[in-house]
Amino acid sequence: AIRMTQSPSSFSASTGDRVTITCRASQGISSYLAWYQQKPGKAPKLLIYAASTLQSGVPSRFSGSGSGTDFTLTISCLQSEDFATYYCQQYYSYPPAFGGGTKVEIK
């Protein structure tokens, strides 16, 4: 099974900051990678699929890049509503696997 590793597991940032979250796959997954945002007590929300395609309705300050084993999620200008936990997920092969999550907290 493919394992997904995110880093960091958590960090603090301020509104307006540019932040980057990294996701690494244990083997190559081409561009079969999605990113989700989850707020406390809520369901995850799809942000990006195919590594870099923005889901409809998601603000353009979110962007994704990478292919193979290394991927990044970037938020260009952090807003108050962006403080949440972010997960990557590979769908290259079964079972689908999520990273451990990155919690973005307010500094």
Partner 1 sequence: EVQLVESGGGLVQPGGSLRLSCAASGFTFSSYWMHWVRQAPGKGLVWVSRINSDGSSTSYADSVKGRFTISRDNAKNTLYLQMNSLRAEDTAVYYCARSGGYGYFDLWGRGTLVTVSS
Six-digit token pair at 43? 């369901």
Could you tell me which residues come within 8 angstroms of residue 101 by beta carbon, excluding any fewer than 6 positions away?
6, 9, 38, 85, 86, 87
Could you tell me which residues come within 8 angstroms of residue 42 by beta carbon, excluding any fewer than 6 positions away?
none
- Beta carbon of residue 97, minimum distance to partner 1 (angstroms, whole number): 7
Site string for partner 1, 45-74 (x = CB under 8 A): xx--x-----x-------------------
Cβ atoms within 10 A of the Cβ of 94, count? 8
Note whether 5 binds partner 1 by CB under 8 A. Answer: no
Exactly one of 5, 52, 67, 98 binds partner 1 (CB under 8 A); that residue is 98
* Angle value at C-alpha 99, between 95 and 103, nearest 5 degrees: 150
Closer to partner 1 by CB, 17 or 101: give it: 101
Closer to partner 1 by CB, 15 or 26: give it: 26
Binding site for partner 1 (CB under 8 A): 32, 34, 36, 38, 42-46, 49, 55, 87, 89, 91-92, 94-101
